[in-house]
Amino acid sequence: MYKNKKVVVVLPAYNAALTLQKTYDEIPFHLVDEVILCDDASKDNTVDLAREIGIKHIIKHERNKGYGGNQKSLYNKALELGGDIIIMLHPDYQYTPLLIPSMVNIIGEELYPVVLGSRILGKGALKGGMPLYKYIANRFLTFTQNLLIGYKLSEYHTGYRAFSRSVLESIKFNNNSDDFIFDNEMLSQIIYKGYDIAEVTCPTKYFEEASSINFTRSSKYGLGVLAVSFNHLRCKLGLGKSDLY
């Protein structure tokens, strides 16, 4: 708990058995009340390991619903459990759980209702092993999105995010894509609603066991990101409606 606010960490898992233990061991349980893992039809023993290490709340998708579908299950469960501060942490150990106290503090003190762990703030992205083509794409897409959406973030593509309960209850995240574009749709909804977003510098870690999408999927994701931003602008100008807002 943080000032009587329930803290819930959600883990979107897919074939995460090699890194789950390492991630779980770094979670600061003096602050975190509940951990929820959603396994998206993994082919390894992610679920068995999650039970072994003591995760009480495990959601198992019998068929793969995608990254966005995984998050929908997690956020709905976190709200059901009464979470006041909900943090999405990837169990592939790309993002360090040691930043959780800082993220909890920012939301718990009501400084900001949303916090992103940014890999781009500072100079750690390339040093941490981010492929050059991904870094360049990240910078181009973020620059374009800031122009179209009318906001200013260092990146829109981090998977390390924390939300207050009120934010999740006020946006239509269940209407979002089940694919990777879910993350960008969520940020678009948050900005459209007028919420402020904080960013904290997050170390970058790329290694063999960490999950990553290939070049083809990355290209599809990039086009989807631009479509989300143009849709945001169109709706903001009153030129149409969308189920997202």
Domain with residue 126: its CATH number is: 3.90.550.10
Q: What are phi and psi of 218, to 5 degrees?
A: -65, -40
Residue 2 lies in a domain: no
Quick: pLDDT tens for 196-216.
999 999 987 765 555 556 667
Residue in the block written with tokens 């990553």: 212
The pLDDT, as a whole number, for residue 117 is: 96
Within a domain: 145: yes
pLDDT of residue 1 exceeding 60, the answer is: yes
| Per-residue CA distances from 162 to 137, 149, 151, 199 (Å) | 24, 21, 18, 10
Position 1 in a domain: no
Q: pLDDT for 134-193, tens place per residue?
A: 888 899 999 999 999 999 999 999 999 999 999 999 999 999 999 999 999 999 999 999
pTM of the model: 0.92
In DSSP notation, 74-101 reads HHHHHHHTT-SEEEE--TTSSS-GGGHH
The verdict on residue 241 lying in a domain is no
Q: Is residue 243 part of a domain?
A: no
Q: Name which residue leads in pLDDT, 129 or 52.
A: 52
Q: What range does the domain containing 154 cover?
A: 7-236
Residue 205 falls within a domain, yes or no?
Answer: yes
Higher pLDDT, 50 or 125: 50
Instruction: Determine the pLDDT at residue 215.
Output: 65
d(CA 117, CA 99): 8
- Domain contains 230: yes
Q: How many domains does the chain have?
A: 1
Residue 30 located in a structural domain: yes
| 35 has a pLDDT exceeding 70 | yes
Ranges of H-type helices in 6-99: 20-25, 46-52, 66-80
Q: Characterise 58 by phi-psi region: left (phi > 0), alpha (psi -120 to 50), beta (else).
A: beta
Which pLDDT score is estimated for 127? 74
